[in-house]
């Protein structure tokens, strides 16, 4: 690696509830027959788990989801990013996710279990911990509340020796009126570390939160959210020394088809 703080700023992209700027990969909706749904999005920046993945600049995304009447689903999603190229450790400017799982319900609780692989195509220098990450996840939803846990079976997003890191996410989507929702979220990212890394297990762990609104208008979903974290500068500073978890307002628009 060329610079530890730059490498550590490479943490944590994509998926799951709690992604702020762009819609996270869309988990397939229930359907009586198999269906395929696409999505495209644009945001003032791509935030994932509270951290900017596009260096506070606009980002584009697109995805495709297949769902079966049985509850099984498969999907893929991609977004423009900049943290790898900015850090000078790889040529990747794309995050590409592939995921699949099963959705069902038990009484008033709906659940979702599956796995997600984060891939960043590009070349990396010798000795650099590849950012590729595989997580298993489980989520339960009751009315407007969703609790989700994601567990990394690999190193987490470029952190050396970080297997078994995890992210716990509580999200709420509360309808104010037809087409308008208040959205809120708080999440905690645990980054595991061994003594060989020379840092405590809690050094790069952090909490993120958001509060915002979404509104359906002219066939698209528009969003405005305030995002913040308590991420530490030593782990999450970009190549200019700016903390990528600093508070920001994020504007987004997405459309499904």
57-66 pLDDT, tens digit each: 999 999 999 9
Residue 140 and residue 73: Cα distance in Å, rounded?
Answer: 16
Full residue range of the structural domain in which residue 172 is found:
4-256
pLDDT confidence of 251, banded at 50, 70, 90?
very high
Domain count for the chain, please give it: 1
pLDDT value at 194 more than 90 = no
Q: What are the pLDDT digits (tens) for 149-186?
A: 999 999 999 898 999 999 999 999 999 999 999 999 99
pLDDT for 240 equals 87
- Contact predicate 14/38, CB 8 Å: no
Strand-strand pairing, 72-80 and 47-48: unpaired
This prediction's pTM: 0.85
Please report, for the domain that includes residue 56, its CATH number: 2.40.160.40
Does 190 have pLDDT greater than 70?
A: yes
Is residue 17 over pLDDT 90?
A: no
Let me know: does 214 contact 183? Beta carbons within 8 Å: yes
Q: How far apart are CA 118 and CA 112, in angstroms?
A: 19
Rounded to whole angstroms, what are the CA distances from 31 to 71, 73, 106, 140, 176?
A: 8, 11, 17, 19, 26
Average pLDDT of span 89-118: 93
pLDDT value of residue 208: 98
Asked whether the beta carbons of 48 and 231 are under 8 A apart, the reply is: no
Greatest Cα pair distance, the chain, in angstroms, is 54
């Amino acid at each position: 690696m060329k610079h530890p703080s730059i490498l550590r700023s490479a943490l944590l992209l994509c998926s799951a509830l709690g992604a702020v700027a762009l819609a996270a990969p869309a988990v397939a909706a229930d359907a009586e027959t198999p269906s395929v749904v696409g999505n495209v999005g644009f945001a003032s920046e791509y935030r994932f788990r509270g951290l900017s993945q596009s260096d506070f600049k606009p980002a584009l995304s697109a995805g495709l989801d297949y769902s079966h009447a049985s509850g099984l689903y498969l999907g893929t999603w991609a977004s423009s990013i900049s943290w790898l190229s900015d850090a000078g450790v790889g040529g990747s400017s794309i995050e590409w996710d592939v995921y699949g799982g099963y959705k069902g319900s038990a009484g008033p609780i709906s659940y979702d279990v599956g796995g997600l692989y984060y891939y960043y195509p590009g070349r990396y220098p010798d000795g650099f911990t590849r950012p590729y990450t595989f997580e298993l996840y489980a989520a339960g939803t009751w009315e407007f509340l969703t609790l989700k846990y994601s567990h990394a079976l690999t190193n987490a997003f470029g952190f050396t020796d970080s297997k078994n890191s995890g992210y716990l996410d509580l999200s709420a989507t509360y309808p104010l009126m037809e087409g308008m929702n208040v959205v809120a979220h708080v999440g905690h990212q645990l980054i595991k570390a061994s003594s060989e890394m020379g840092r405590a297990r809690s050094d790069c762990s952090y909490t993120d939160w958001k509060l915002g609104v979404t509104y359906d208008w002219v066939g698209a979903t528009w969003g405005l959210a305030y995002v913040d974290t308590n991420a530490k500068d030593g782990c999450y500073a970009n190549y200019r020394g700016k903390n990528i978890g600093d508070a920001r307002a994020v504007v987004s628009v997405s459309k499904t088809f």
